[in-house]
Amino acid sequence: MKEIKFNIPLNEAYSRKNVSNFLRSKKPLHGPGKNILKIKKQLKKIFGFKMVHLTNSCTSALEMCALMLNLKKNDEIILPSFSFVTTASSFARTGCKLRYCDIDKSNLMPSFNQIKKCVNKNTKAIVIIHYQGYSVDYLDHLKDYCNKKKIFLIEDAAQALGSYFKKIPLGSFGDFACFSFHETKNIHSGVGGMLVVNNKKYIRRSHFVFDKGTDRYLVKINRQKYYYWVDIGSSFLLTEFSASYLYPQIVNLKKIIKIRSIIYKRYIYNLNKWLDDEFIITNNFIYKYNFHALVIILKNKRRENFFKYLKKYRVNAVISYMPLHKSKFGKQFFNHKNNLSNTNFLNERIVRLPMHNYLTLKQVDFICNKMKLFFKK
CA-angle at 260, arms to 302 and 180, nearest 5°: 85
- What does the pLDDT average to over 58-87? 97
Could you tell me which of 157, 163, 164 has the C-alpha nearest to residue 180?
A: 157
Q: Is the pLDDT of residue 303 over 70?
A: yes
Give the chain's domains with CATH numbers. 13-251 (3.40.640.10), 253-375 (3.90.1150.10)
- What does the pLDDT average to over 156-169? 97
pTM of the model: 0.96
- What does the pLDDT average to over 143-162? 98
pLDDT at 35: 97
Digit-coded pLDDT (tens) for 37-62: 999 999 999 999 999 999 999 999 99
β-bridge pairing 76-80 and 279-281? unpaired
Portion of the chain with pLDDT greater than 70, in percent: 98
- Alpha helix stretches (DSSP H) within the chain: 13-25, 34-47, 58-68, 85-92, 112-118, 139-149, 203-210, 216-220, 240-251, 253-272, 303-312, 341-347, 361-375
pLDDT at 276: 65
Q: Is the pLDDT of residue 283 over 90?
A: no
Q: Is the pLDDT of residue 334 over 80?
A: no
Q: Is the pLDDT of residue 285 over 70?
A: no
pLDDT at 302: 85
- What does the pLDDT average to over 67-90? 96
What lies within 8 Å, CB to CB, of 241 at 6+ separation is 19, 22, 23, 29, 31
Q: Is the pLDDT of residue 377 over 80?
A: no
Report yes or no: 270 and 368 within 8 Å, Cβ to Cβ: yes
Count H helices and E strands in the chain, helices first: 13, 12
- What does the pLDDT average to over 218-235? 95
Beta bridge partners of 211: 235
Rg of the chain, C-alpha, whole Å: 21
pLDDT at 333: 83
CA 198 to chain centre: 17
pLDDT at 284: 62
Could you tell me which of 154, 146, 142, 147 has the C-alpha nearest to residue 88?
A: 154
pLDDT at 223: 94
- Alpha helix stretches (DSSP H) within 51-173: 58-68, 85-92, 112-118, 139-149
Q: Is the pLDDT of residue 282 over 90?
A: no
What lies within 8 Å, CB to CB, of 222 at 6+ separation is none
Burial of 75 (0-12, 13-18, 19+ CB in 10 A): middle
**Integer Cα distance of 176 and 194 in angstroms:** 10
Q: On the CB side of 135, how many CA atoms lie within 13 Å of its CA?
A: 26
**Integer Cα distance of 254 and 180 in angstroms:** 17
Digit-coded pLDDT (tens) for 342-376: 999 999 999 999 999 999 999 999 999 999 999 88
pLDDT at 116: 97
**Integer Cα distance of 250 and 245 in angstroms:** 10
pLDDT at 289: 93
pLDDT at 31: 81
Q: Given pLDDT bands bounded at 50, 70 and 90, which one contains residue 106?
A: confident
pLDDT at 331: 86
Q: Given pLDDT bands bounded at 50, 70 and 90, which one contains residue 335?
A: low
Could you tell me which of 49, 45, 60 has the C-alpha nearest to residue 236?
A: 60
**Integer Cα distance of 74 and 70 in angstroms:** 12
